[in-house]
Amino acid sequence: MKLLKVDTVEETKNKMEHHFRKHFLEEIEIDTNKSLGRVLAEDIYAPFDLPEFHRSTVDGYAIWSKDTFGASDSLPVFLNYVGMVDMGVDTNLSVSTGKAVYVPTGAMIPNGADGVVMIEYVELLDSHTIAVHRSVAPGDGMVLKGEDLKKDSLILKKGRRLKPQDIGALAAVGIKHIKVLEKPRVAILSTGDEIVSPDEEVPFGKIRDINTYTISAMAEQMGCEVTFKAVVKDDYHLLIKILEPLVKENQIVIISGGSSVGTKDVTAKVIDDLGEPGMFVHGVAVKPGKPTIIGKAGNAALFGLPGHPVSAMIVFKIFVEYLIHDIMKYEIEKNIVLQALADTNIHSSPGKETYQMVIIEKSGEDYIAKAIHGKSGAISLMTRAQGYIKIDTNKEGVKKGEKVDVYLL
């Protein structure tokens, strides 16, 4: 077994880039209605102008805008009412000076009209005459053909993770099927003789599994497909038996627990023995999360996360998310960062990149970051935390009143 020196976060990511540079996902075609959260594998262009015709954005009357110049409540303009446009149909009506055509919201603008006066500013005097009490500028109350999207213009860029509004845009231009990247397949195991599933009876001295549920949720939130999750005993042969098919069927395999150097900590040996090149990181200069393991077997990325829930979640965010972003190749949304003032001195761990959970309070015009402390095994530490601050390796800590960046959870 290759036991490597403790690496910095940057060194670890460099090794990951080297070993996982050939990781990729297949492109598949799916129904647009089922594409929420998926990553586009192609650029999407408008197949036609949108809208396809000049369209009214208000209920009102299509007119020549110059006919209304100077119109007011005390001095209205009188126009001839010559008909109406029905919703959702073509029209052969036209507008010339002195004439007006009624158009509901969304209806086609008749030829000749260059503005729509809202119905609130119009008085119907008789079946053929209206009084307009408000002037209209060219383009008011209407959207022009192609004003939203021009034919062949780029709608959505390859690598975009699709949002609800994107699905609406695709529907608007009639795109029913799109190419996306397949979801990364992720298998998740928690190890430990003391760990039992929450739906089992929990004998005194045992603890309920937390990490399988937490890490699965984090992976799904990233757009992955969790194909397998289970609690497994600290048994080398059992783990090898379970993991051998999983490394062939998944791009990422995560083992939570057993990553330290105790007598029953077998994760490092298991990862190293599953295939070449085996383990290439065992120990990262990060707090919490030092006993992190990373390896590779075949085409599967292998991660050994610490068993403590907070440590496991932090390491997932630092390294597993980093890999998922890389292989999914989507536009990484920037972390939501809030600037705040530290409410007390916060110490870092010498030589380690330190992550400190905080809650945020408002004080006048400033936000205050209040450190919350607890053992890395305490899941309540994460449920109470609203964010975290990162203290670089070469920084001794944070002083009270110092401005810090809070990464919101």
Lowest mean per-residue pLDDT among 24-38, 102-116, 248-262: 248-262
Any idea which fold 55-143 has?
Answer: Molybdopterin biosynthesis moeA protein; domain 3 (2.170.190)
Residue 290, token pair as written in the block? 């030092």
Average pLDDT of span 11-29: 93
Specify the residue for token string 């609203």: 386
Total residues belonging to the chain = 409
In the prediction, which pLDDT does 263 show?
41
Lowest mean per-residue pLDDT among 8-12, 31-35, 201-205: 201-205
Domain map of the chain by residue range? 9-25+183-328, 27-46+159-181, 55-143, 337-408
Longest dimension (CA), the chain: 95
Q: Please say whether the beta carbons of 134 and 117 come within 8 A.
A: yes
In the prediction, which pLDDT does 328 show?
86
Residue 235, token pair as written in the block? 């048994």
347 CB-near residues (< 8 Å, 6+ apart): 396, 397
CATH code: domain 27-46+159-181 is 3.90.105.10
Q: Exposed, middle or buried: residue 246 (CB in 10 Å: 0-12, 13-18, 19+)? A: buried
The CA distance from 313 to 297, in Å, is 23
CATH of 9-25+183-328, picked from 3.40.980.10, 3.40.50.2000, 1.20.900.10, 3.40.50.10680, is 3.40.980.10
Q: At 332, is the pLDDT very low, low, confident or very high (cuts 50, 70, 90)?
A: low
CATH code: domain 337-408 is 2.40.340.10
Q: At 1, is the pLDDT very low, low, confident or very high (cuts 50, 70, 90)?
A: very low
Q: What is the pLDDT of residues 134-178, one digit of tens each?
A: 999 999 999 999 998 999 999 999 999 999 999 999 999 999 999
List strand residue ranges (DSSP E) for 299-385, in order.
300-305, 337-342, 346-347, 353-363, 366-371
Q: At 260, is the pLDDT very low, low, confident or very high (cuts 50, 70, 90)?
A: low
Q: At 266, is the pLDDT very low, low, confident or very high (cuts 50, 70, 90)?
A: confident
Q: What is the pLDDT of residues 288-304, one digit of tens each?
A: 888 999 999 999 999 99
217, 222, 223, 226: CA torsion to nearest 10:
-40
199 CB-near residues (< 8 Å, 6+ apart): none
Query: Is the model's pLDDT at 196 over the cut of 90?
Result: no
In the prediction, which pLDDT does 259 show?
58
